[in-house]
């Protein structure tokens, strides 16, 4: 594996043995037309393998730098991103939206019937008497 370091061109985190075969994604110019930006005055660069990925990266960066307007909007706020590969005349426009996704998981465990994390009276964690805890089996 070796040591980790960032590519000096695209910034990707690489192991030393990956450096020989790494190829940076192409550069895209982007600007935000809905924010009164123009290609001539405001375009900046981002590296991505696809135009749509470039637009998503721009929106993520824009949202992170601001007030998280896109992901906190419940779908009411999006961002228009214009992208163009240098050397090409084709400008592509994307409407980018986002959301925060909460992911939960449950793993069955062998419970200790003496312990419950919360009491029914709302007083918080406490050790219950053996008679209070029941048999520890799921009854539904």
| Per-residue pLDDT reduced to its tens digit, 25-57 | 999 999 999 999 999 999 999 999 999 999 999
- Entry pTM: 0.65
Cβ-Cβ contacts under 8 Å for 30 (sequence gap 6 or more): 43, 44, 45, 46, 54, 55, 58, 81, 82, 83, 84
Task: Please report the pLDDT score of residue 123 as a whole number.
Answer: 60
pLDDT band at 120 (very low <50, low <70, confident <90, very high): low
96 vs 124, more confident: 96
| In the chain, where the domains are located | 25-96
Task: Please report the pLDDT score of residue 121 as a whole number.
Answer: 61
| Per-residue pLDDT reduced to its tens digit, 71-95 | 877 767 889 999 999 999 999 999 9
């Amino acid at each position: 594996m070796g040591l980790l370091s960032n590519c000096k061109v695209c910034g990707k985190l690489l192991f030393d043995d990956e450096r020989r075969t790494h190829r940076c994604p192409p550069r895209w110019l982007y600007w935000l037309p809905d924010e009164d930006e123009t290609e001539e005055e405001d375009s900046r660069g981002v590296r991505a393998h696809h135009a749509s990925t470039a637009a998503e990266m721009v929106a993520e960066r824009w949202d992170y730098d601001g007030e998280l307007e896109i992901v906190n909007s419940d779908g009411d706020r999006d961002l228009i991103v214009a992208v163009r590969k240098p050397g090409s005349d084709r400008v592509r426009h994307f409407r980018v939206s986002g959301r925060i996704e909460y992911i939960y998981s449950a793993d069955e465990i062998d419970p200790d019937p003496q312990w419950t994390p919360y009491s029914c009276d709302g007083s918080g964690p406490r050790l219950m008497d053996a008679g209070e805890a029941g048999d520890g089996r799921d009854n539904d």
